[in-house]
């Protein structure tokens, strides 16, 4: 990397750009973490990746990407949901301001739902 003049504009070589773009996804690295590590904006990495793919320097994604998911890990801030709600697919839960939750039947009329939300928010 080379810093030029007062504006501190950085010049990245093609090899450095490829290294940064290739670092995304390795061992679960996110684009945001790679951008912070190399002190470059996320949009710049997207732009480089697009340019490299256009020039044929990066292979295009060939298929779906699978990410590891741990279904046994507890959810943060999760509240237990009563079993009768799980069994009924017509119940909707709406998360309102200040942690309030409103559960209602999916068939509720829009006007009644609006009045209900307003009264709960005003309480």
Give 52-78 pLDDT, tens digit per residue: 988 888 776 666 666 677 777 666 666
117 burial level (CB within 10 Å; 0-12, 13-18, 19+): middle
The model's confidence at residue 32, banded by pLDDT at 50, 70 and 90, is very high
Enter the pTM of the model: 0.45
| Banded model confidence at residue 35, pLDDT cuts 50, 70, 90 | very high
Output the average pLDDT for the chain.
Answer: 79
Distance CA 107, CA 87 (A): 16
* pLDDT at 45 > cutoff 80: yes
**C-alpha to C-alpha distance for 69 and 73, rounded to whole angstroms:** 9
Looking at the DSSP assignment, which residues form a beta bridge with residue 101? 95
Given a cut of 90, whether residue 88 has pLDDT beyond it is no
Q: Kindly state the percentage of the chain with pLDDT values over 90.
A: 25
Do 20 and 45 form a contact (C-beta atoms < 8 A)?
yes
């Amino acid at each position: 990397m080379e810093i030029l003049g007062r504006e501190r504009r950085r010049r990245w070589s093609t090899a450095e750009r490829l290294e940064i773009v290739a670092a995304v996804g390795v061992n679960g690295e996110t684009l945001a973490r790679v951008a912070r590590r190399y002190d470059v904006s996320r949009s710049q990495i997207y732009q480089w990746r697009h340019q490299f793919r256009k020039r044929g320097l990066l292979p295009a994604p060939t298929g779906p990407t699978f990410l590891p998911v741990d279904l046994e890990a507890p959810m943060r801030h999760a509240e237990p949901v009563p079993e009768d709600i799980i069994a009924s697919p017509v119940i909707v839960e709406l998360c309102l301001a200040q942690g309030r939750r409103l559960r209602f039947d999916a068939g509720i009329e829009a006007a009644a739902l609006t009045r209900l939300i307003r009264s709960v928010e005003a309480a």
